[in-house]
Chain A
């Protein structure tokens, strides 16, 4: 089975990428995964200054998913360049850094320094974190701000720029088009869905931050709809992300236009999930007579009416 996928300028061994925030910087999964069997990995988002993260409790289980308000704890860009990036750069797969700034200037500074140091094959611009007060989702919820930050990062970055979108908007297609207009090479869709959980007897929130982002299988249908809309709105390649836990899930995202997918929460609850999902995907393709992953791309045929498969 030929699993190779071209994601714009990036050539991937297969379409499965470890999503940011659920992968760490590389050492955390070393006992569980053979990185040379992955399409790629995206490091945890880094910020200019070190961040402690949000007050606990930071996560809460929900039906088929989990809410998180982690709040981007990280050691800051200096530590990332000294420790995280050198480790990441040695992994035998496509290596992607992730950045989140409170201002355009912070995005630019981090992108420039990562690009200049080398070792990352691409940079994902996280304008979609729902758990930080400044920056984060504020950029990704506004089309002009999305275009502005994308253009500024693109100008200082020697490697492909990936823009990660939030689904917490009225029209994600417009935001995706703005990212494309700003020069994005690739779009990741989507980050978590804003949600909350409450304990009614004592009338208190379940999260220290009150609200958080929902991930896991609960969001797959929501993410799929967003990815379809994004793929229809832009010409640049799209990475689908949100609730993927099986090989069939991967192929559904690819069918509606994702050229690759990111897997996040699945790997937290099942550290070896990537291997399983990959073999399931191969078996699915095989069973349906496909000889390559690329044959599964963008085949969506809504005009032919609903499926009678099941």
Chain B
């Protein structure tokens, strides 16, 4: 068994449209699945000639267990936005993709007794089911976890049942009036934080559009929150060779007050308070 990530051709076990334009693809590599931790990602490349030139990075959404109950693969959740995701969504069972992973760091698990708030903007929900499952397996009761989930419309709120099955409390909102209520994921978070007392400090996990994470980062600094964010960036390799996926992180030692870190190597999970936000 390799120490870290590997590269293999892996079969599609299932490809399912769970909501309009949203797919869960199950990939059958037990070894990669067993190695991967919540927050990590995989580079998925379609066969030469069958898809775009660059691989696409996807968070691990959940593990896949076969009928005997053993981990036999993992799932990725994505919204179709371009040629890569479109072709991926059309793969049939038995087709294969070239996979590299698991890559990047992982979410730090919440300390004993801490409440967990997962804040998802749109498809940013992707890494949180695996996190919730790992929390449950490490003894965090489902009731101690909440998903605060904002999306454009009700049709963009996906996988709610999966979270509820783990006992996670789900509060969802949309930008329009199609959902349970009209609010952003950040508004849900601020609202929820106001109910916490001084001693009961939750651990916040967030993922979503860059603009949302920048605002969240300021909020976290102001409230001195213990928060981790999962970032996205344009990427080529995924293993710290090409230096594409640079993000600015606060660095008191450097002249400008920030330095570049690589999303693929130093992330994708970063301390929310460390994000450098211009403007």
Contact = CB atoms under 8 A, between A and B. Distances in A.
A268 B241 contact: yes
Interface string B238-253: 0111111111000000
Among B45, B54, B100, B242, the most chain A Cβ lie within 10 Å of the Cβ of B242
Given A31-B4, A217-B53, A270-B45, A57 B237 contact: no
A23 interface: yes
Interface in A192-222: 216-217
Given A60-B234, A270-B98, A68 B242 contact: yes
Contact of B236 (A24, A245, A268): A268
A308 B125 CA distance: 55
B3 A70 contact: no
A17 B6 CA distance: 22
A93 to B, nearest CB: 17
Contact of B53 (A31, A61, A70, A272): A61
A175 B18 CA distance: 58
B55 interface: yes
A66 interface: yes
Interface in A254-275: 265, 267-272
A271 B233 CA distance: 19
A70 B242 contact: yes
Nearest to A73: B243
Nearest to A28: B241
Interface in B208-248: 233-237, 239-247
A53 B53 contact: no
A52 interface: yes
B5 interface: yes
A35 interface: no
B55 A269 contact: yes
Contact of A216 (B2, B53, B240, B245): B53
A31 B54 contact: no
Contacts of B100: 271
Interface size class of chain A, counting residues whose CB lies under 8 Å from the partner chain: 20 to 34
B218 to A, nearest CB: 20
A9 interface: no
B176 to A, nearest CB: 22
Interface in B260-275: 260
Nearest to B246: A56
Contacts of A5: none
Given A217-B53, A268-B241, A66 B236 contact: yes
A60 B82 CA distance: 14
Contact of B243 (A29, A53, A216): A53
Contacts of A61: 52-54
B236 A269 contact: yes
A61 B235 CA distance: 10
A56 B53 contact: no
A61 B236 CA distance: 9
B209 to A, nearest CB: 15
Nearest to A54: B246
Among A61, A64, A66, the most chain B Cβ lie within 10 Å of the Cβ of A61
A288 B45 CA distance: 31
B259 interface: yes
B16 interface: no
A59 interface: yes
A59 B2 contact: no
7 contacts: A24-B240, A29-B241, A57-B233, A66-B53, A265-B236, A269-B236, A270-B7
Given A57-B233, A58-B245, A59-B234, 8 more contacts: A60-B234, A61-B53, A61-B54, A66-B54, A70-B242, A73-B246, A269-B54, A269-B236
